[in-house]
Amino acid sequence: MPPRSSARDLERYAGLFAARTQVMKSTAMRDLMAVTDQPDIISLAGGLPDTSTFPAEDFSALMARVGAESSAAALQYGPTEGLGAVKACIVEVMAAEGMEVEPEDLLVTTGGQQVIDLVCRALIDPGDVILAEGPTYPGAVPVFHSYQADVVQIEMDEDGMRIDVLQDTLERLDRDGRKPKFIYTIPSFQNPAGVTMNLERRRALVRLAAERELLVLEDNPYGLLRYEGDPLPTLFSLDGGEYVIYLGTFSKILSPGLRLGWTAAPHPVLEKLALGKAAADLCSAALSQHFVVAYFANRDWRAYLRGLVELYRRRRDTMLDALAEHLPREADWTRPRGGLFVWARLPGYIDTTDLLARALRENVAFVPGRGAFLDGRGGSEMRLNFSGVHEDDIREGVRRIGKVVREQVELFSTLTGSEPARDPRPASPAERPNVVPMPRRGAQGR
């Protein structure tokens, strides 16, 4: 076996690393998350679709078909912008959410994640400002870090990003002579907060972007995973493709293992993104693209999606019921109308990173809220996933979390001599700029 690097080697390389590799992720969080993938742990920490629902025989049949009909092409490089036939599938998926695009508006990418990377690559110089929701998608955080962006997070409420705060922030940045390069948002069933931007705010955001000539990166992985309510128009369709860069993915409607996503963007931007993609990986996997083409041609993707929506709706309901049953009054949480996540907020004296250590002893895991902020906020919040977990495990997992939260609430009240039922937080959302104000449990009519 060849020897691994020695101490001296590490020192030798240390001087070679770029400044952007100095990631801020806490070692504590990394150490804790490393334990969460043990087999006997109920993990509500994932962000996983349930791929076990995809029929194995369909997978085999489609792969056999790809092998029989397009073996040479599936094993070959493909065009950087993606196969035309895949773009036709994407046009169909986007039409299902009321968007009209032409194939030449599209760039097929290696997962939606690559779009975030490509947009930063094309737009961000070190120190440039990105505006994002607070909390934001934890997976975007390391991308923003690696381009050394200065990220300003805009608070949300149950109707998504607060546009009034966005406006104030833009004005403040103006006064400092700084103009953000883009606004990153997940308007529908946000990861991690689970909230959805209402129509009025969508219109206001698009208008603001046009007035100020700002780009918006609309990340929409979950739009079709709607469990209740009417669909809302995407920012992309409201804007007509002027200032909105749209990010879509097959990960949540088909499979994340394919690593296929896409972007639709104004053409000058799209060209830069395509150049970046050519530099990054030449093209997305041809094999995956041929699989998608075969799937759309031979199966009813809408029917599969309907099945997922039914399944995830049940799991969401199970989680909301379990939270109502097991979390103490001091906690509250969002009630997502779609997507994969619930965001829960605990009293300010509970640190969810520490709580995770306690929870792991009960064999349950969640994502501590700090991972969704770039500035150390989110210390008392947590993200809970319901899509990738069976209902029994959701119930049991939430019961265990409830147990450790109650334990800490009681301990704190013993230490301070206060009543356990006391609400230790200020009542006004304005006093808590970093959190999503949510209706109290009693007010939800359950």
Partner 1 sequence: MKVAVLKGGRSLERQVSLRSGARVEDALHRLGHDVLPIDVGPDLVDRLVGDRPDVAFVALHGRGGEDGTVQELLELLDVPYTASGPSACIRCMDKVVSKHVLRDAGIPTPDFYAFSQTAFGELGAARALPAIEERLAFPLVVKPAGQGSALGIKFAASAADVPGAIVAAFSYDTKVLLERYVAGRDLAVSIIEGPDGPEALPVVEAVPQGDDFYDFEARYEIGRTHFTCPAQLPAGASERAAELALRTYRALGCFGFARIDLMLDGESGELTVLEANAIPGLTETSLLPLAAEAAGIGFDALIERLLQLAATRVPAA
Question: Least distance from C-beta 347 to partner 1, angstroms?
Answer: 9
Q: Which of 28, 63, 204, 238 binds partner 1 (CB under 8 A)?
A: 28
H/E run at residue 152: strand 150-157
Beta-bridge partner residues of 150: 129
Q: Confirm or reject binding of residue 183 to partner 1 (CB under 8 A).
A: no
Q: What CA–CA distance (Å, rounded) separates 217 from 143?
A: 14
Nearer to partner 1 by C-beta: 10 or 56?
10
Q: Confirm or reject binding of residue 311 to partner 1 (CB under 8 A).
A: no
Question: Least distance from C-beta 26 to partner 1, angstroms?
Answer: 6
Q: What are phi and psi of 133, to 5 degrees?
A: -75, 155
Q: Confirm or reject binding of residue 255 to partner 1 (CB under 8 A).
A: no
Q: What CA–CA distance (Å, rounded) separates 33 from 27?
A: 10
Q: For the chain, how long is the longest CA-to-CA vector?
A: 73
The span from the first CA to the last CA of the chain, in angstroms, equals 61
E strand residue ranges, 290-380:
332-333, 341-345, 364-365, 367-368
Task: Identify whether 79 is preceded by a cis peptide bond (ω within 30 of 0).
Answer: no
Q: Which of 15, 16, 18, 27 binds partner 1 (CB under 8 A)?
A: 27
Q: Which of 51, 60, 416, 444 binds partner 1 (CB under 8 A)?
A: 416
Q: Confirm or reject binding of residue 18 to partner 1 (CB under 8 A).
A: no
C-alpha angle with apex 444: 438 to 446, nearest 5 degrees? Answer: 140
Residues 191-210 that bind partner 1 (CB under 8 A): none
The one-character DSSP state at 293 is H
From 337, 444, 342, select the one nearest 386 (Cα to Cα).
342
Q: Confirm or reject binding of residue 4 to partner 1 (CB under 8 A).
A: yes
Q: What CA–CA distance (Å, rounded) separates 131 from 374?
A: 12
Contacts of 286 (CB under 8 A, 6+ apart): 73, 74, 75, 76, 77, 78, 83
- For residues 29 to 58, the per-residue mask of contacts with partner 1, x marking binding by CB under 8 A and - elsewhere, is -xxx-xx--x--------------------
Q: Confirm or reject binding of residue 382 to partner 1 (CB under 8 A).
A: no
Q: Confirm or reject binding of residue 60 to partner 1 (CB under 8 A).
A: no
Q: Confirm or reject binding of residue 443 to partner 1 (CB under 8 A).
A: no
Q: Which of 22, 51, 60, 71 binds partner 1 (CB under 8 A)?
A: 22
Which of these ranges, 9-17, 121-129, 161-169, 268-276, lies near partner 1 under the rule CB under 8 A?
9-17
Q: Which of 358, 390, 406, 432 binds partner 1 (CB under 8 A)?
A: 358
Question: Least distance from C-beta 358 to partner 1, angstroms?
Answer: 4
Residues 261-300 that bind partner 1 (CB under 8 A): none
Q: Confirm or reject binding of residue 12 to partner 1 (CB under 8 A).
A: no
From 285, 245, 257, 284, select the one nearest 120 (Cα to Cα).
245
Burial class (CB within 10 angstroms; exposed 0-12, middle 13-18, buried 19+) of 44: buried
Count Cα neighbours of 122 within 13 Å in the Cβ-side half-sphere.
22
Q: Confirm or reject binding of residue 421 to partner 1 (CB under 8 A).
A: no
Question: Least distance from C-beta 413 to partner 1, angstroms?
Answer: 9
From 73, 81, 120, 85, select the one nearest 282 (Cα to Cα).
81
Q: Confirm or reject binding of residue 406 to partner 1 (CB under 8 A).
A: no
Which of these ranges, 74-82, 240-248, 300-308, 345-353, lies near partner 1 under the rule CB under 8 A?
345-353
Q: Confirm or reject binding of residue 349 to partner 1 (CB under 8 A).
A: yes
Q: What CA–CA distance (Å, rounded) separates 111 from 84?
A: 17
Nearer to partner 1 by C-beta: 3 or 229?
3
Q: Confirm or reject binding of residue 354 to partner 1 (CB under 8 A).
A: yes
Q: What are phi and psi of 134, to 5 degrees?
A: -120, 110
Q: Confirm or reject binding of residue 344 to partner 1 (CB under 8 A).
A: no
Positions touching partner 1 (CB under 8 A) are 1, 3-7, 9-10, 14, 22, 26-28, 30-32, 34-35, 38, 348-351, 354-358, 360, 408, 411-412, 414-417
